[in-house]
Structure 1
Amino acid sequence: MNVPQSRLATAAATVTVVLWASAFVSIRSAGGAYSPGALALGRLLAGAVALGVICLVRREGWPPRAAWRGIAISGLLWFGFYMVALNWGEQQVDAGTAALVVNVGPLLIALLGARLLGDPMPPRLLAGMAVSFAGAVTVGLSMSGEGGSSVLGVALCLLAAVAYASGVVAQKPALGRASALQVTTFGCLVGAVVCLPFAGQLVHEAADAPLSATLNMVYLGVFPTALAFTTWAYALARTTASRMGATTYAVPALVVLMSWLALGEVPGLLTLAGGVLCLAGVAVSRSRARTRTASGAGAAAPGAAVPETVPEPRPERT
């Protein structure tokens, strides 16, 4: 990977993290006027329109047949189920807590990668998963003071994390056969089709919703969906799924800051402690054991990272 391409991938990942963090706040803002399914459908329709215009301008064709399996699965789970579950979950818990719980997703990506792609499952990864699970439980208990509804919210966010992880694992092979824009556009369309049963709710609620809520929904479609999912796919095509998952660890901190500035929401101390456990588990899972040999010849330096080989991505259309 040459230096300019690496920098572009890093910039794309940064754009994704910032916009996804803002999505948690916008979902919370629009959730008072729109039900979970209607908000997901409105977001996906706005995103599909924006992506469709870009595809027409760039003259992107249909994805190759070999890419459709991954596109369909990621569209169903990540663009469809994930968004509905996250919207519902954010009606039960604050935006910061939702972001903290959903960030268990990178650990699930590693688990699914081991199961479906044959990736190694070292003991440190298993230990990290256990620590993060304890953190998620702590978050749930800390938010369970209002009739148990917040426990439901944490459970929904965990389901969203599972859908997110499954979508990433399914999307990665598709990016080797189709462009980032194709994978994102048609995944968004699949998600919109999945959410069509909520069309009646969307029409009814849009008629009564305040303009600010509707603008938040459109913002979610154009920026955290159309733009951020495309920059995510662009970066994912140029690195591994686990490394891309690691970039989302910055989301909770950004969400807490944005929630404080925009909504006046700050998670309590126990909630933050659970979030710290989640992130600590991630740190354990991503750490590497030192390599030692009897002679020392050819041994890696202590703590040195093992280089990863990533297939060349499909060239983007210009």
Structure 2
Amino acid sequence: MTDRSSSAGRPLLPALAATVTVVLWASAFVAIRSAGDSYSPGALALGRLFAGSLALVLLCLVRREGLPPRSAWRGIAISGVLWFGFYMVALNWGEQQVDAGTAALVVNIGPLLIALLGARLLGDPMPPRLLAGMAVSFAGAVTVGLSMAGGGGSSVLGVVLCLLAAVAYAAGVVAQKPALARASALQVTTYGCLVGTAACLPFAGQLVRQVAHAPLSATLDMVYLGVFPTALAFTTWAYALARTTASRMGATTYAVPALVVLMSWLALGEVPGPLTLAGGALCLAGVAVSRTRARARNAAPLAVPAAGEPRSEQVS
């Protein structure tokens, strides 16, 4: 079972965890662009997941984490196959078929799908501030995407792959949420990553061949993707998700496009234009709106959850 009671007096920890996740996921786009020149989509996904699994299993051994309870395995397996496995392969492949702007546009329907699925399947509330913030952030993502889109750089296959990646991402998050009521964030992340690794084993031959010829920098990028944006960031994501709704966590990821623009500027020397900067500002403004809570709602007494019902603490 997750230990949420110990974080009740430390409300900043979930917010910090969400921040770590967003920053590391943004850095992944820069690393994927570099490693993708030397590794095929499936090989890159498998290498990333393998490195992440090694780091997570080692951490589980150090912390003496046991197996998740049987009741958590359904969510772990679904999120492992869809989010850790299928999503990473589809996104890597899609980004080779379309320009960065088109990929950003299509993949950023993911948080909207999370909100819809969360409301339908998990009973997540949809307060007006959350809806307004998501609308502003999505407008920012569209602006960033349009400003980065290049003429003739898209294909139907690439758009479909990015769309499938967004659907897999949303379904994986919604499947992961109930599992976090029964197992720890580290357990859910570790075994989800192991499931994703197993799902990507058909690409093992490609990975072995490409490792032998890839430059060291590309391989180090792949290891970085596994240890930090996967092992660490997915664990901090799960920690924060266990303490808020799937819809609110999905809205938080709209900060990623703005951070990607900043990191590409600093690391790759890609100077953003005024439209790109405006879109990034809209993304951050929308996240800020979605994370705020009405004063009247804060003053209302908290409902006591029924026995066995997972607590849903908002991240502020």
TM range (shorter): 0.7 to 0.9
What amino acid sits opposite 1:241 in the alignment? A
CA contact (8 A) 2:180 2:188 kept: yes
Q: 1:222 to 1:128 in 2, by over 3 A?
A: closer
Q: 1:287 to 1:153 in 2, by over 3 A?
A: farther
CA distance, structure 2, for counterparts of residue 56 and residue 131 of structure 1: 43
CA distance, structure 2, for counterparts of residue 156 and residue 139 of structure 1: 20
- The corresponding residue for 1:20 is 25
What's the offset of the Cα at 1:5?
A: 3.0
- The corresponding residue for 1:33 is 38
The 5 A counterparts of 1:106-125 are 106-119=111-124
CA distance, structure 1, for counterparts of residue 17 and residue 138 of structure 2: 29
- The corresponding residue for 1:166 is 171
The Cα offsets for residues 183-233 of structure 1, whole Å up to 9 and x where unpaired, read as: 000100111111111111111111110000000000000011001101111
Structure 2 gaps of 5+ residues are none
- The corresponding residue for 2:107 is 102
Q: 1:4 to 1:119 in 2, by over 3 A?
A: closer
- The corresponding residue for 2:253 is 248
CA distance, structure 2, for counterparts of residue 246 and residue 134 of structure 1: 13
CA contact (8 A) 1:77 1:166 kept: yes
- The corresponding residue for 2:99 is 93
CA contact (8 A) 2:258 2:283 kept: no
- The CA RMSD measured in Å over matched residues stands at 3.4
CA distance, structure 1, for counterparts of residue 128 and residue 253 of structure 2: 23
CA contact (8 A) 2:105 2:145 kept: no
Structure 1 gaps of 5+ residues are 291-299, 314-318
Q: 1:38 to 1:266 in 2, by over 3 A?
A: farther
**Structure-1-length-normalised TM-score:** 0.79
Q: Secondary structure at the match of 1:157?
A: helix
CA contact (8 A) 1:93 1:150 kept: no
Q: Secondary structure at the match of 1:238?
A: coil
1:262 to 262, 267, 288: 267
Q: 1:195 to 1:284 in 2, by over 3 A?
A: same
What's the offset of the Cα at 1:306?
A: 7.5
CA distance, structure 1, for counterparts of residue 80 and residue 138 of structure 2: 26
Percent identity, aligned pairs only? 82
What's the offset of the Cα at 1:122?
A: 7.8
The Cα offsets for residues 223-266 of structure 1, whole Å up to 9 and x where unpaired, read as: 11001101111111111112222222221111101111222335
CA contact (8 A) 1:238 1:312 kept: yes
- The corresponding residue for 2:228 is 223
Q: 1:287 to 1:306 in 2, by over 3 A?
A: farther
What amino acid sits opposite 1:93 in the alignment? D
2:80 to 65, 75, 81: 75
1:209 to 203, 214, 217: 214
Q: 1:66 to 1:32 in 2, by over 3 A?
A: same
1:192 to 189, 197, 201: 197
What amino acid sits opposite 1:192 in the alignment? T
Q: Secondary structure at the match of 1:176?
A: coil
Which one has a bigger Cα radius of gyration? 1
Which 10-residue stretch deviates more, 138-147 or 109-118?
138-147
Q: 1:111 to 1:125 in 2, by over 3 A?
A: farther
Q: Secondary structure at the match of 2:31?
A: helix
Which 10-residue stretch deviates more, 165-174 or 154-163?
154-163
**Structure-2-length-normalised TM-score:** 0.80
CA distance, structure 2, for counterparts of residue 156 and residue 305 of structure 1: 45
What's the offset of the Cα at 1:128?
A: 8.3
